[in-house]
């Protein structure tokens, strides 16, 4: 049997505790599941944030989190909101519009679209999370002109 594609399997994610334009100070290190640092040929980057059993303490922490600083990318991005129905409600800002999105769902963000996301509610006892997927292989943000 050949191992021609073994190099494309990430068996041990890389942990990160900070991302540009995001405040993860209240959070634990998160596993990067895919990216150029793990597989040089990768044209996608993905981080995994999941809570198996949402507690009141975690809910209170989520509700107090700031939205990511509005930013944009020169590549497309997706947010995969995973988990049980209405486990987590996210506020998603795209351009000048804001949406409430419950798990499970997905949001596609075209390149150069100013955006930000934050959890605004969670259901104690349920499981849910978020997988941001950047379609370029690494996480790089660009500033947004706030004067517009």
Q: In the chain, what are the domain boundaries?
A: 13-143
Query: What residues contact 67, with CB distance under 8 A and at least 6 apart?
Result: 91, 93, 116, 117, 118
What does the pLDDT read at residue 16?
Answer: 83
Positive or negative torsion for Cα 131, 113, 39, 21: negative
Q: Of all residues in the chain, what percent carry a pLDDT higher than 70? A: 89
> Who wins on pLDDT, 107 or 60?
107
Distance separating alpha carbons of residues 145 and 63, to the nearest angstrom: 27
Average pLDDT over residues 52-74: 80
Indicate the pTM of the whole model: 0.83
- Look at residue 45 and tell me whether its pLDDT is greater than 60: yes
pLDDT-derived band of residue 23, with 50, 70 and 90 as boundaries? Answer: low
Which CATH superfamily is 13-143 part of?
Answer: Jelly Rolls (2.60.120.10)
């Amino acid at each position: 049997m050949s191992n021609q594609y073994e190099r494309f399997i990430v068996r041990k994610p890389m942990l990160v505790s900070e991302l540009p334009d995001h405040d993860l100070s209240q959070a634990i290190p998160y596993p990067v599941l895919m990216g150029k640092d793990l597989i040089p040929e990768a044209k996608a980057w993905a981080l995994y944030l999941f809570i198996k059993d949402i507690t009141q303490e975690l809910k209170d922490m989520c509700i107090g989190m700031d939205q990511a600083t509005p930013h944009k990318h020169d590549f497309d991005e997706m947010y995969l909101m995973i988990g049980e129905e209405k486990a987590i409600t996210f506020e998603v800002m795209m351009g000048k519009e804001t949406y409430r999105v419950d798990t499970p769902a997905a949001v596609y963000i075209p390149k150069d679209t100013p955006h930000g996301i934050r959890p605004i509610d969670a259901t104690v006892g349920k499981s849910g999370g978020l997988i941001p997927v950047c379609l370029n292989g690494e996480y790089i943000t660009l500033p947004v002109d706030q004067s517009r």
